[in-house]
Amino acid sequence: MRGFFLFLAAGIFFALLQSSVFPLFLSPNWRPNLILLLILYLGLSENLSRALVAGLLLGAIQDSFCGPSLGLYVSVYLIIILVTRALIEQLNIESPPMLLLLVAGGTLLQNLLIGFYLTLFAETASVLHILLPAIPKQLFTNLVFAAILFFLLLRFQRFLGYRSGLAGLISQSKHHGA
C-alpha cells in the first residue's frame, strides 16, 4: 500500500514539474513525459489490480494538468498498462536496455493512441501536425530521462529498500536470493 501511495505522490510531483518547471527551460516538444515512465514502471513492478487503479488515477491527474477533456490519458495509460502486462511474460525485464526499449515503445504507443483518440472522437485531426513532428524529440527526451531515473533508482535503491519484482534493477538481481 505504501508503494501505491508513493507512485501517486511521484505522479503528482512529476505533473507539477511538467507544468511549472520544465516549461521554463524546455520547449513543449523537448519536455519529457515523466508520468508515462512511471506508468511503464508501474505496469512492470506492481500487481495488476494495483497497477490498474494507480494507472487510472495517474491518467486522471495528467488529464487535469493537460488538455481540455478528462478521460484521454485515463484510457491511454490503461491500455499502456495492459499491453505492458501482456508483454511482461515475454521479456527479460531485469535488463535496463530492455526497459529503455519499453520506454521507446511506450512513447510511440502513447502518441499513436492520443492521435487515434483525438482524430476519431474529438475530431481534431490537426493534432497530428503537432504530434508527428514531435515524436523523435519526445523519444529522445523520454529515453534520456528514463536512463537518468533508472540510474538514480539503482544508486539509491539501498535507501528505498529491496523489493522482489522491482523491474530492471541489476543490483536487485544480484542481491535477490542472497
Per-residue exposure over 16-47, b if at least 16 CB sit within 10 Å of its own CB, e if not: eebeeebeeeeeeeebbbbbbbbbbbbbbbbe
Nearest to 37 by CA among 120, 133, 141: 141
* Residues in 85-114 that interact with another protein by CB under 8 A: 85, 114
Residue (131 or 166) nearer to another protein, CB: 131
Enumerate residues 6+ apart whose C-beta is below 8 A from 117. 72, 75, 76
Residue (71 or 165) nearer to another protein, CB: 71
* Residues in 156-175 that interact with another protein by CB under 8 A: none
Nearest-approach distance from CB 109 to another protein, in angstroms: 13
Residues forming the site for another protein (CB under 8 A): 12, 15-16, 18-21, 23-24, 27-29, 31, 33, 35, 48, 52, 56, 59-75, 78-79, 82, 85, 114, 117-118, 121-122, 124, 126-127, 129-131, 134, 138
